[in-house]
Structure 1
Amino acid sequence: MVGRSDPERIARKREQIAIEAGRLFGTQGYERTSVAQIAAAIGTSPASIFYYFTDKATLFRAVFERDLPATQALVARHADATDPLAAILAIVDELAQQADEPGASGLVVELLRRVEHDAELMGVVARTAQTVNEGLATLIARGIDHGAIDPTLDPTQSASWLQSIVDAIFLNAESGRSRRSELRRTVLGYLIPPSTTSPSSISLSTPD
C-alpha cells in the first residue's frame, strides 16, 4: 500500500481508480457498479479503494473533479490566441473528445441523476462549467472586436449556448460515430456574422 507521505503516487493511484470508475459508471450505471467491481478492474481490493476514497459517492465525484484542472489548462492554452474563432473551435472540439469514448453518454446520464442530490457534486460541475463559460465568453468578445464573430451576440449567453451544444454531443453520442465535425460546423454557423462565409483559414475537419 502506498504511504501517506508520497502525495505524487497517491495522486496517480487516485487518478487510475477514478478513470476506471468513470468507465464502469458510464457503461453499467452508478447503482449497478460496485466498489468491488472497480477494485477488480484495476487489480486491487475494495479496502484499497476505500483507502483513497471515503465511499462510492466520493469516488463518483472524483470522476468529475478530474475535469476542472484539465479544463483550466485547456482554457489557459487558448487564452491569448491571436485568432479567437479558431481558439473557440479548438476548445469545444477538445471538450467533445470524450464523447467518442464508450460509456460517455451513460456517464452524463448518471451525472444528471445524481447532481441534484449531491451538493458537492453540483459544486464540482458548476466550477468546471464556469471556467469554460468565462474562457469562451472572453474569446467571443475578442472575436466580436476583431469582426470575426456576430456583434449581435452576447458573449456570456453565447458561451452558455456553446456549452449546451457540447453537452448535446455527449447525450447523443453513438458508439463508433464521432459528431465533432458536425459540432464545429454548428459552432461556426452560430458565431459567424450572417453576411460572412466561413473563413478559409478555419478547417471544418476534426483534428486528429
Structure 2
Amino acid sequence: MARKVDPEKVAQKKAEIAEVAARLFATNGFESTSVAQVAREVGTSPASIFYYFPDKASLFRAPFEADLPAAEKLIEQHRNTDNPLASILDILSELSKDAAYPYAQGMLVESLRRMGHDPELFAASEKVAAVQRKGLTDLIRRSINAGQVDAILDPDHTAGWLMTVVDACYLNAEPGHDPSPEVRRTAQGYLRPGYLKESDHV
C-alpha cells in the first residue's frame, strides 16, 4: 500500500528547500549554483530535491510562483475596504517590506537575468504584477471618488508608478532595512489632493 502524502509537510519541505536555494542563487547566481549545492545546504540528496522540483529552473522560480497566491490574497483582503486610501498604503507596505530580506536584491537581479531564458518565470512575474496593478488601480479609483486621492491622477498609470517605487526598493535594498515607512510617505505625498497645485507655488 502506497504511503499517504501529507500536503502540508510537502509544502513545508518545498518552502525550506526554496529558501535555501534562494540564498544560494542570490549569492552565487543561477549558473554557478548546482542542485548538489542546494542539497548539501538542506542536508539531503539531489534526488530528494528533484522529488520536489523537476529541475533547477523550477527551483529558482518557486519564490516567484509563490508570489501569485500571496498577491491574490493581499488584494482580496482589501477588496471591501471602507478606507481605500489606507488599503493602498497597507498594500504598498506589505509589498515593500520584504526588501529587508538579506537576499532580496540578489534574487531580483538574478531573476532579471533569467527572464529571457525562462518563459515560465516571465509569465509568473507578469501574472503577479497584473494582480497587484489591477488591485491598486481599483483602490485608487475608489479613493479618487471618495475625495482621498487627487482627481487629476489616472488610476492605472498611478498604480504602475507606485509599483515602480516598490521595485526600486528591491533594486536598492539594504539588508535588514524595511523601506515600507518611506514608501508610505512617498505615496501619501504623491496621492494627496491638491499636491500639484501646492507644488506649483513652491
Specify every segment of 5 or more residues in structure 2 that has no aligned partner in the other structure, as ranges. 197-202
Counterpart in the other structure of 2:11: 11
Give the aligned residue type for 2:80: D
Counterpart in the other structure of 1:131: 131
Give the aligned residue type for 1:49: I
Counterpart in the other structure of 2:82: 82
Q: Is the 8 A contact 1:149 1:193 kept in 2?
A: yes
Specify every segment of 5 or more residues in structure 1 that has no aligned partner in the other structure, as ranges. 197-208
Query: What are the residue-to-residue correspondences of 1:188-203 with 2, within 5 Å?
Result: 188-195=188-195
Counterpart in the other structure of 1:91: 91
Aligned pair count reads: 195
Q: What is the alpha-carbon distance in structure 2 between the residues aligned to residue 62 and residue 52 of structure 1? A: 11
Q: How far apart are 1:180 and its partner, in Å?
A: 2.1
Q: Is the 8 A contact 2:99 2:175 kept in 1?
A: no
Quick check: which one's helix share is greater?
2
Q: How far apart are 1:4 and its partner, in Å?
A: 6.8
In angstroms, what is the RMSD of aligned CA positions? 1.8
Counting aligned pairs with the same residue, the percent is: 50
Q: Is the 8 A contact 1:99 1:105 kept in 2?
A: yes
Query: What are the residue-to-residue correspondences of 1:56-205 with 2, within 5 Å?
Result: 56-195=56-195
Counterpart in the other structure of 2:199: none
TM-score norm. by structure 2 comes to: 0.90
Q: How far apart are 1:3 and its partner, in Å?
A: 5.1
Q: What is the alpha-carbon distance in structure 1 between the residues aligned to residue 112 and residue 36 of structure 2? A: 24
Q: Deviations over 1:32-91 (max 9, x none)?
A: 222122112221111100111111111111121111111111111111111111101110
Q: What is the alpha-carbon distance in structure 1 between the residues aligned to residue 154 and residue 43 of structure 2? A: 50
TM-score norm. by structure 1 comes to: 0.88
